Structure 1
């Protein structure tokens, strides 16, 4: 029992799953979410115009940016704190309170900013504002839930919550498409938000069943400050990984055309399904590196091998089936974006190297170095893709791949040097 919260916990250490099981569980869960998400965009593409789809994809990207900012590194701080033996109840109470407040503030700030800066493409209905706000809060909570369950050795629980959430979102979109053609972007956004709410609720129930956690949220500075101090550097590193892919659809929608975002986003979303394997395995690699620092080298190579195996299989499927998959959205999507999907899928290998490097930097506390690398690479990725936007999605994806590969080559050499140093220190 936690003296601070009065919460009873089961012994999570006795119920921990292996690192591989947690990794694969997370990958399967994200695959289910991505599959349902792809089906959602298929339904959306047939339910309304390219413009409305483009505005919805921009809104979804904005929500994801808000969630990544609102996490404030708290998820990483939970992994570090629980891995070092701190009471989970106290850590989680402070973590969930911080990110719920941050998600609310950032979502409202974005909505006001969007209305002022891009009034021609801004969605201003009450339904959109409400669903955007709820999506940002629940999405941020889901991120911390994921990392809390990884820290407790139960990452495999992701499968059921993402499958349920994705299924609900898809079902809502199908109902809207059946009811009336020409759905507005705010209605599609509401359908997408339902899935996030369900994933959040299921995750809370899982946390209670698996480890006996009952939330008693607390914003007391004595609890929140240590988490923020611990997590913010790691948050900056995470943002360098996620921001380029999230910012680009927004930039396309508001500076090029909503249709440009509509054609780019499905290719990027499907490529991200493959990229999720090294990203999620990197989270488990980080968690295990904190718990067992003496096995960091072995964990890193094992994580990289599985990232390439699982992610590579998904990437190969995308390369082979790029045109048929995109044609499900419509022939105009397949004709415009099949080449882009193939080039983006080829980026799985350099992305896996980047994730392995970042996970080692997290476990070793070398976040400053990784942040500098990530910011430089992120700016180069977005700039190169935007510079090629007038030549279409395929040219954008090729530019993205070239820059990502150059960056991965540099960090791969640095990763080898760091791992050699770890091995030498261990001896």
Structure 2
């Protein structure tokens, strides 16, 4: 049975471990960790995927509380504009991070004594680049997104740039923790981030700060970075370097990173540009309705994404099991996803009613469509991760380009006709159109790999 190093060492040490002052606390923590370890599957692929999925669900659950408070403490226009600004920030952060999150997941497990150097270099490059693209975006706001003109204010503009750079590192630290098999720590840092957001949001509401949503997001990011990187650099990285002193440089490392980054830009554009299309086409109120539906529906996409990250980490260690792991993720994630889709489709009106009657009235159909789109997205996501592990980077890029073009093109066509519902229809149609050929010709991508994937 796979278990973390801390759990195994604590179990060997027994209840008497530790000094009299701290032994009781350590025994209690050990008991909790051991209990959680027994509840989770023993297979590393599924165990780590479950923990990452739990982290996403916790983050989404507390994040929903954040938006619940935001919709009650701020008017719909402020919510719509703030979410659109955050969507832009997330897009810029994903441009700036050069897809080094997936790069770290793929290569950090085999980086050995170069782990810290690779991680810090990734932080520096991605933070600098994301800050630069954020500055350019703020300068071009009057042309690209006139409704976000409030970002031209010096203080808010600086906050926006800093939040974009900070979110880049936030994403990379999650990738590093995943690669080093510390998914439980991802849960902890997401809880810190979510709790800090809510506290800062309340402070902004008390002070009647219209930009309180954006400011609270930025402040919470810095709190999370301090906590997570202290644990990462003081414990996880040194432990990994001690246990894996040898490392080999994989061939064509830069070409892999460049191709993976190119594909990720199109994938993230599909995820983050639709709220801006809704804002520009239909206005702030309808942007708020779609944005909240997307926040809830995207949880299902994240569950699959997390299982895929676990798939890549395990395939690096056991490349001969790529097909077995791919099929395992498809079956296991499909079962979880079907249950989640059922809950959201049935409960959409009541879930959205928590945020106000306007959301339940206007966003129910969109949320149901986004939930259904998560089902074909399972096949798309697993295919991308399998092909990434096999270094079939042309197909990795091609699939993500196809999804982006279909989502944005269909949204642009359908929003004027169907209103905000058109964005949900666009997502469902796009995912089905991409998944259909993957299902029909699955034998062409889900095949055994030859040789090492490291």
The answer for the alignment partner of 1:406 in structure 2 is 433
SS at structure 2 position matched to 1:419: coil
Give me the whole-angstrom Cα distance separating, in 2, the residues matched to 1:137 and 1:228. Answer: 23
Mapping for residues 187-336 of structure 1, pairs under 5 Å: 187-213=212-238, 228-336=254-362
Segment of structure 1 superposing worse, 116-125 or 251-260: 116-125
Correspondence list, 1:345-384, <5 A: 345-384=371-410
Structure 2 residue 61 is the aligned partner of structure 1 residue 58: no
Cα distance in 1 between the residues matched to 2:336 and 2:206: 36
Cα separation, 2, equivalents of 1:241 and 1:140: 16
Of 118, 133, 142, which residue of structure 2 is paired with 1:91?
118
TM superposition score normalised by structure 1:
0.87
Q: Output the CA distance in 2 between the equivalents of 1:89 and 1:73.
A: 18
TM-score (norm 2): 0.82
User: Residue 161 of structure 2 aligns with which residue?
Assistant: 133
d(CA) in 1 for partners of 2:199, 2:140? 32
Aligned residues, how many?
403
Asked if the contact 1:72–1:228 (Cα under 8 Å) also holds between the matched residues in 2, the reply is no
Give the one of 159, 171, 174 matched to 1:143. Answer: 171
Shift of 1:268: 0.8
| 1:179 Cα deviation after fit | 4.8
Distance in 2 separating the partners of 1:303 and 1:338? 29
Contact 1:244 1:378 in 2 (8 A): yes
- Decide whether aligned partners of structure 1 residues 237 and 413 sit closer, same or farther in structure 2, where only a CA change above 3 A counts: farther
Gap runs ≥5 in structure 2: 10-41, 240-248
Q: Is this contact kept in 2: 1:77–1:228, CA < 8 A?
A: no
State the alpha-carbon separation in 1 of the partners of residues 236 and 122 from structure 2.
Answer: 16
- How much does 1:274 deviate? 1.2
In structure 2, the CA distance between the partners of 1:303 and 1:156, relative to structure 1 (3 Å rule), is farther
Residues in 1 aligned to 2:441 and 2:172: alpha-carbon distance in whole angstroms: 29
- 1:343/1:119 CA distance change after superposition, 3 Å: closer
Give the aligned partner of residue 134 of structure 2.
Answer: 107
Query: Paired residue for 2:28?
Result: none
Q: Deviations over 1:331-367 (max 9, x none)?
A: 1111000111111111121011111000011101111
Deviation per CA, 1:24-50, whole angstroms, max 9, x where unpaired? Answer: 121111112112222222222222222
Per-residue deviation, 1:57? 0.8
Measured in 1, the distance between the counterparts of 2:120 and 2:360 equals 46
Deviation at 1:58, TM superposition (A): 0.7
262-271 or 115-124: which moved more? 115-124
- In 2: Cα distance, 1:308 partner to 1:302 partner: 10
Q: 1:31 aligns with which of 57, 64, 69?
A: 57
Instruction: Rate the CA distance shift 1:288–1:52 in 2: closer, same or farther, 3 A.
Output: same
Query: Following TM superposition, by how much is the alpha carbon of 1:236 offset from its aligned partner in structure 2, in angstroms?
Result: 2.0
- Name the CA distance, whole Å, in 1 between partners of 2:144 and 2:387: 37
Shift of 1:420: 3.5
| Contact 1:165/1:194 (<8 A) preserved | no
Is the CA contact 2:256–2:393 (under 8 Å) kept in the aligned structure 1? Answer: no
Shift of 1:83: 3.2
CA distance in 2, matches of 1:242, 1:278: 15
* Distance apart, 1:423 and its partner CA: 8.7
Q: Counterparts of 1:385 and 1:25 in 2: how far apart (Å)?
A: 34
Note the residue ranges of structure 1 that are not aligned, 5 or more in a row. 1-10, 215-222
Q: Do the aligned partners of 1:17 and 1:154 also contact (CA within 8 Å) in 2? A: no
Which residue number in structure 2 is paired with residue 6 of structure 1?
A: none
RMSD of aligned Cα (Å): 2.8
Deviation of 1:211 (Å): 2.0
